[in-house]
Structure 1
């Protein structure tokens, strides 16, 4: 399964709920952190492109500072994606290919639509939430409204995601409502 949704829509919560039901979840966001960990080739490439000032005293990437750069400039974001996406994809597919036959494998990937990956999955699940809900969630995570809007604008639109979706889960309501929708999805996946 390809699982996607815009920033703040709640796809990570859906991934967590699916994992609790037995799915093997591979997170592109988690792998993105791995490929820029101190001492990695990915971090060296990012620092060479964007500057050593993005490294803290321990040699770790200041992701917030990098985010301010790349979400303000589409060309810089594209360059970062050129550096990181191949590294992320290589690790992700190695993990997905190791999932035993018959077990549900979920690739939690924010850029599924942008990277035209929909044909790689048996089912594409899109998680949606209304804009104000997403902005409130992102503000709770420490993003200023302008930064949150810039990140939302940099991603595919809800309409673009819906166009490739096999299933759309609404996450503008309660966690209980989302959990019920995920349980229904799980039952459909388990039956078929």
Structure 2
């Protein structure tokens, strides 16, 4: 098990190079089980609530591997990894986030790495406001299957929570696309 953090230049699993990763640092470590973060660097400052992190463990070749992300303030998350490549959507708390990534083959951890990300905040810009419009005679519910109906499931509060989560994921996706196209 290794504990190093690298950033690498790589080709995507589809065979085409990903343009955003062309300027990243080539891996210099000789250990094939080092974990490489492909779209973020150590101590990077980001401004979104969620972030999509791409990574790779060079010598991992399993189809049933997984990446586990541990956050000191939030629950651990687990994502599939294929042939050493992984993507993880990670929630960030305000300030410094010290994340631990474990690459597992079965129950065995073959690579572990720490990544520190600083989630900054814009104090001079107001947050984006999203609105949900309701008709005057609305029951303040939305359509849902019978087993998903009731308070907290298909009411106005649930709609607001779903909209908020969707906005955070849009923001993470847009940040990733901007990064890949050289705009961030």
Instruction: Bin the TM-score by the shorter chain.
Output: under 0.3
Alignment TM-score, normalising by the size of structure 1: 0.24
Higher helix share: 1
Alignment TM-score, normalising by the size of structure 2: 0.25
Q: In terms of Rg, which structure is larger?
A: 2
Higher relative contact order (CA 8 A, sep 6+): 1
